[in-house]
């Protein structure tokens, strides 16, 4: 079964075709600047990369162009669109309407539109993309795989906010969590590695956006992101946890509109706000060169993560494994080092030497043999989770 995986952003569209026989990646790519001058498609087959510019005004144009490329003689990997047996769409948010991936029908589209209030940047584009895809390929089944549903096993004491209960009832204001496909993928891999279903682990997805999840016996019991991806850790441009009264001061004293203040917390804070760069590599580079703000930023980054690790350790009553994944978690030895320093009291005997030696993006064990807690690096594969869920649901349809 060949599955097309689609991950749409507000002005971008990432895609992969995966042949589920052997879970083989046939090609991947990204359409960027949709609706803006200079829109283009970057397409990769094996190690060859192609960049093709093309005017694309909306996601329908982008999908049509992508399908032309996928079936073209020059760049194609399929002869005909009908070789695609199913399409898996990444969707930001299911609200409380679904607690797992679902086959898309009119009702699912309606629910996605309704839930756009929780993700006004991503959800409208993702829903447009689902509709456009349905129009272009009406006979091919589609599945929605949500970023939050892995966390739907959280108990109310973890997901409720202590705000008036009616606001939960009427608006479903609560913690949902994100990066679910990534936490699911790496936690399943870690369970296989540990060789037992009974396990307590903390999965650390650290990238431009970052989140931690406490996973017991394969089920999420808590996670650091909230109603939106703004809550939790300090990220590339997001503040993470903050006293909501900061907004009041930004609005009343700095003279910002509420939208501007929220934009500041989402896009101008985090690493960028503290030291002027949002890429972790640049933060490290500046800190190593003696930049005090960058050093502070690194310190804040590791401190916040340690606080979450400590609290998850406490609620799980112990820990079998910590798993690193995401751009920083997989690739940054210094990122992992600053987080693991000083956690010996939790039974973590981290192998700093092995950490230094680790080549980019590889599976690795970074604990010493004596360590009670295993420390693993597991490269994530969110698209594969989407393809697997899609195959499963379409097969059972």
- The answer to whether residue 236 forms part of the interface with ligand AMP (CB under 6 A) is yes
In the bound complex, what is the minimum distance in angstroms from residue 291's beta carbon to ligand AMP?
Answer: 16
Task: Extract the tokens encoding 145.
Answer: 């795989």
Q: How many Å apart are CA 241 and CA 262, to the nearest integer?
A: 13
In the bound complex, what is the minimum distance in angstroms from residue 180's beta carbon to ligand AMP?
Answer: 15
Contact between residue 151 and residue 176 where contact means Cβ atoms under 8 Å apart: yes
Contact between residue 83 and residue 2 where contact means Cβ atoms under 8 Å apart: yes
Query: Measured from the CB atom, is 7 or 199 closer to ligand AMP?
Result: 7
Task: Extract the tokens encoding 299.
Answer: 């310190």
Q: How many Å apart are CA 322 and CA 351, to the nearest integer?
A: 13
Q: Which of 147, 222, 320, 351 is catalytic?
A: 147
Which residues, 309 to 328, sit near ligand AMP by CB under 6 A?
326-328
Neighbours of 79 (CB within 10 A): 10
Known catalytic membership, residue 299 = no
In the bound complex, what is the minimum distance in angstroms from residue 160's beta carbon to ligand AMP?
Answer: 29
Q: Where are the alpha helices (DSSP H) in 102-205?
A: 106-114, 123-136, 156-159, 165-171, 180-194
Query: Measured from the CB atom, is 180 or 327 closer to ligand AMP?
Result: 327
- Write the binding mask 264 to 303 for ligand AMP: x where contact by CB under 6 A, - elsewhere: ---------------xxx----------------------
Neighbours of 349 (CB within 10 A): 15
- The answer to whether residue 68 forms part of the interface with ligand AMP (CB under 6 A) is no
Query: Measured from the CB atom, is 331 or 390 closer to ligand AMP?
Result: 331
Query: Measured from the CB atom, is 16 or 127 closer to ligand AMP?
Result: 16
Q: How many Å apart are CA 393 and CA 374, to the nearest integer?
A: 34
Q: How many Å apart are CA 147 and CA 92, to the nearest integer?
A: 5
In the bound complex, what is the minimum distance in angstroms from residue 253's beta carbon to ligand AMP?
Answer: 32
Q: Hey, which residues are catalytic here?
A: 147
Residues within the interface to ligand AMP (CB under 6 A): 207-208, 236, 279-281, 326-328, 331-332, 360
């Amino acid at each position: 079964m060949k599955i097309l995986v689609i991950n749409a952003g507000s002005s971008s569209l990432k895609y992969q075709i995966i042949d589920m026989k052997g879970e083989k990646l046939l090609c991947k790519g990204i359409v960027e600047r949709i609706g803006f001058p200079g829109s283009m498609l970057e397409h990769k087959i094996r190690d060859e990369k192609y960049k093709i510019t093309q005017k694309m005004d909306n996601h329908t144009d982008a999908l049509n162009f992508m399908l032309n490329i996928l079936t073209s003689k020059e760049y194609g990997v399929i002869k005909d669109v009908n070789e695609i047996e199913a399409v898996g769409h990444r969707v930001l948010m299911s609200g409380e309407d679904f607690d797992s991936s679902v086959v898309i029908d009119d009702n699912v589209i309606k629910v996605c539109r309704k839930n756009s209030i929780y993700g006004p940047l991503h959800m409208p584009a993702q829903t447009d993309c689902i509709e456009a895809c349905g129009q272009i390929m009406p006979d091919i089944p589609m599945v929605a795989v949500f970023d939050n549903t892995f966390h739907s096993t959280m108990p109310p004491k973890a997901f409720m906010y202590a705000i008036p209960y009616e606001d939960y009832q009427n608006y479903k204001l609560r913690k949902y969590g994100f990066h679910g496909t990534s936490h699911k993928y790496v936690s399943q891999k870690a369970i296989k590695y540990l060789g037992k279903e009974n396990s307590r682990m903390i999965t650390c997805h650290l990238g431009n956006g970052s989140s931690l999840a406490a996973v017991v016996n394969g089920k999420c019991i808590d996670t650091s992101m909230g109603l939106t991806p703004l809550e939790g850790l300090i990220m590339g441009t997001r503040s993470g946890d903050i006293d909501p009264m900061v907004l009041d001061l930004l609005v009343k004293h700095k003279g910002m509109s509420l939208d501007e203040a929220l934009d500041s917390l989402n896009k101008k804070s985090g690493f960028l706000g503290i030291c002027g760069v949002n890429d972790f590599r640049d933060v490290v580079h500046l800190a190593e060169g003696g930049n005090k703000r960058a050093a502070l930023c690194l310190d804040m980054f590791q401190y916040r993560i340690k606080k979450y690790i400590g609290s998850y350790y406490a609620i799980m009553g112990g820990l079998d494994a910590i798993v690193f994944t995401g751009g920083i978690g997989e690739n940054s030895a210094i990122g992992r080092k600053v987080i693991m320093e000083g956690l010996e009291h939790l039974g973590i005997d981290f192998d700093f030497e092995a950490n230094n030696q680790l080549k980019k993006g590889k599976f690795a064990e970074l604990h010493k043999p004596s360590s009670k807690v295993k420390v693993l690096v597991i490269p994530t594969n969110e698209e594969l989770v989407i393809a697997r869920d899609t195959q499963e649901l379409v097969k059972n349809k």
